[in-house]
Structures are given as C-alpha cells and as structure tokens.
C-alpha cells in the first residue's frame, strides 16, 4: 500500500492545530493555544474560542505545510475534526477543510476527535489491537477497548466532570494559576495528602464509571474551613489541599482502571496492552500509578509524549489516514457534530 500523506486540522476546543503526517512520520505539528484569551473568564468561552480558531487556522495550516516542506499537491487527503466539541470551533475547521478539498479535489475525511486521541498510541509507539485506553482530559474521561481504527467499545467513564476540569476548578479554588493540572501537580509535591482526606465517589461500586464533581465541593469546604479559622491559606495549606485532591483523583483513576483491565483481559488478548492519553496523562503521579498497576497485571503500558497527549492535529491526520486507507471518505455534506460518541 502507498504511504499516505495527510493534512490534519483540529479546532474542537481551545487549541487551533494543523499537522502533516506521512505514514507514522510527523512532518509537522503546529498548535496555537488559547489559554491566555480565556484566562479572565474561569473557563473556555465558546464565542471567543470560535473567533480565535477562525483567525488562526490560515496561519496554522500554512505553517504546518511550510515546516513539513509539503505542498497541497503533495497531499493525499484533508482530515479534519468533525466533532465532538464546541460547535463554533468545529464548524470553522470543517469549513476550512471543505474549502481546501474543493479547491484541490483532494479527499475530505471527517475525524472523531476521540478516535484521534485513542489511536495516538499507535502513531507514537508499537501497540496492537485490541488495547484498553483511558482517555482522560479537560473534556473527556472514558475507558475504551480499541478494536480497530473504526471500532471502539466504551466500557465506562465519568458520570459528571472530567478530571482535567476538576484540576482546573480546584486550582481556581486554591488560588493557583491555569491550566490547573500542572499547577496542582507542582504544589502537591510538597503537600501531605493525609491532612485533608477527600472523598472517592463510586470507588466501592461495581463497574468502570467514575465521578469527580464531588471533589471540588469537598475542596471548597475544606478551603473555607481553613480560611474561617485562619483568615487565609498558607502555601502549606495550599500544598496539602492540592495533595489531597491529586491523591483522590489518582486513586479513582487507578482503581477504576483495575476494573476496566479486568473486563478487557477477559477477552483474552494475545499481548495485553493499556494506553493512557489526554492532558491529564501528563501528570507524573497518575502516570506512575497506572504504570505500576499495569506491571502488576502483566499488561504493556504506553503513554504518548505529553505534547501528543494534549490536543494536536497530528492525531487527526493519523486517524484520517486510517479512514482514507479504508475508503471511508466524506463529501461536502460533512457536518460538524457537537456530540459524537465513538
């Protein structure tokens, strides 16, 4: 089979990204983050995000082509995130991709953002189907058995917030900067996780579902109690609260991964493998804990490099490549889908 070269476009949340991928070679991967644009608002503002995507796509795609030293005529297809995500941003990306496809006659391939994350371990490493995937980011948290590029079995996930969202909210409650994940990880390193024990909802229950929304309420209460007593938080209070929170998230993710692995191993895979991806997979203690669990359960552990765990377009180009090779292309009717389960 011919080695396919695709342009990938991603604009479903707060990163505008474009990439050129040839086979498993990432020729370029450009990401424009929007964190600073949303900093004053306590979260991603859809309207601001959509506008910033529309403004940045041009530059982003041009840069990706330039860095890769590839012309549009050297491409085999245009892959674009068609959902799930914030609709304004997804529409911007899809319209842009349609424009290029119409102008060049290249195949257009709509990609599910979650498939992009879920296939990244195969782009960056050697891992065979079927593998168990924990996709854990600011917007998502689910266990998937990845059977093929177009076949996923969801066996559990969060019933409320995503962990990244909980990290971000907890950072705000503690007066730490955004994005909250790295900020909490840093201060938690010097904290005592035992001082403020946090709830571990659903931990005792059957199944692979998780819940994180109770954690921020617990953090809020614990913070208010300290503030009521002393009039404010010392750096040690911050560190201890952050450590208590991070410890609870790690415990929930690890124990639920143990259950998900048990379900997956029942299908008797020849070479059992587990992968974690998404922004929260950048967290050291969480990664370490999952890796230790995999060792205990004799399962290969993989986590893509941090830059490919968080949102990027190389994963979209790679997922698009698999679809193109299977003849799964789209036409100008391709629509942007705010919700799109795998």
Does residue 61 interact with ligand KG4 by CB under 6 A?
no
Listed ranges 176-184, 228-236, 289-297, 328-336: which one lies at the site for ligand KG4 (CB under 6 A): 176-184
Does residue 340 interact with ligand KG4 by CB under 6 A?
no
166: closest CA among 240, 231, 244, 232? 244
Q: Is 109 helix (H, G, I), strand (E, B) or coil?
A: strand
Does residue 13 interact with ligand KG4 by CB under 6 A?
yes
Tell whether 247 is in a known binding site: no
* Options 282, 294, 316, 334; binder of ligand KG4; rule CB under 6 A: 282
Listed ranges 60-68, 95-103, 307-315, 316-324: which one lies at the site for Zn ion (CB under 5 A): 307-315
Does residue 311 interact with Zn ion by CB under 5 A?
yes
Rounded Cα gap, residues 134 and 261, in angstroms = 10
Tell whether 135 is in a known binding site: yes
Helix (H) or strand (E) holding 79, with range, is strand 77-83
95: closest CA among 320, 332, 319? 332
Does residue 320 interact with ligand KG4 by CB under 6 A?
no
> How many residues are present in the chain?
342
Answer positive or negative: Cα dihedral of 60, 63, 67, 72.
positive
Spell out, one character per residue from 140 to 169, where the chain touches ligand KG4: x when CB under 6 A holds, - when not: ------------------------xx-xx-
State how far the alpha carbon of 26 is from the alpha carbons of 91, 268, 300, in Å.
Answer: 25, 33, 24
Beta bridge partners of 19: 8, 29
Of 137 and 289, the one with the shorter C-beta distance to Zn ion is 137
Listed ranges 22-30, 201-209, 214-222, 276-284: which one lies at the site for ligand KG4 (CB under 6 A): 276-284
Spell out, one character per residue from 107 to 146, where the chain touches Zn ion: x when CB under 5 A holds, - when not: ------------------------------x---------
Q: How many residues bind ligand KG4 (CB under 6 A)?
A: 20
CB 161 within 8 A of CB 171: no
Residues with Cβ < 8 Å from 314, sequence gap 6 or more?
Answer: 8, 19, 21, 26, 29, 123, 308
Q: Least CB distance from residue 154 to ligand KG4, whole Å? A: 17
Q: Which residues bind Zn ion (CB under 5 A)?
A: 137, 311
Point out the annotated binding site. 113, 117, 135-139, 168, 181, 185, 283, 311
């Amino acid at each position: 089979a011919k080695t396919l070269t695709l342009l990938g476009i991603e604009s479903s949340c707060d990163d505008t990204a474009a990439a050129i991928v040839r086979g498993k070679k990432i020729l370029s991967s450009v990401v424009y983050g929007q964190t600073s644009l949303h900093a004053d608002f306590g979260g991603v503002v859809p309207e601001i995000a959509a506008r910033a995507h529309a403004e940045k796509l041009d530059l982003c795609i041009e840069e990706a082509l330039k860095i890769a030293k590839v012309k549009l005529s050297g491409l085999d297809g245009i892959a674009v995130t068609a959902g799930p995500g914030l609709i304004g941003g997804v529409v911007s990306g899809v319209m842009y991709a349609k424009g290029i496809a119409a102008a060049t006659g290249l195949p257009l391939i709509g990609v599910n953002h979650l498939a992009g994350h879920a296939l990244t371990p195969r782009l960056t490493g050697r891992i065979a189907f079927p593998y168990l995937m924990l996709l854990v980011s600011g917007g998502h948290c689910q266990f998937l058995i990845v059977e093929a590029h177009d076949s996923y079995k969801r066996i559990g996930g969060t019933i409320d917030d995503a962990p990244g969202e909980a990290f971000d909210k907890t950072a705000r409650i503690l007066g730490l900067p955004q994005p909250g994940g790295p900020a909490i990880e840093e201060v938690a390193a010097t904290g005592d996780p035992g001082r403020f024990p946090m709830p571990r909802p659903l931990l005792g229950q059957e199944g692979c579902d998780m819940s994180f929304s109770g954690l921020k309420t617990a953090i809020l209460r614990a913070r208010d109690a300290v503030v009521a007593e002393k009039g404010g938080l010392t750096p040690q209070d911050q560190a201890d609260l952050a450590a208590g929170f991070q410890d609870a998230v790690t415990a929930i993710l690890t124990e639920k991964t143990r259950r998900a692995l048990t379900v997956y191993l029942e299908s008797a895979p020849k070479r059992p493998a587990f992968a974690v991806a998404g922004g929260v997979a950048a967290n050291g203690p969480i990664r370490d804990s999952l890796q230790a669990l995999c060792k205990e359960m004799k399962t290969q552990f993989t986590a893509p490099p941090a830059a490919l765990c968080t949102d990027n377009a190389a994963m979209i180009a790679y997922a698009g490549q698999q679809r193109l090779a299977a003849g799964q292309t789209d036409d100008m009717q391709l629509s942007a889908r705010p919700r799109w389960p795998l």
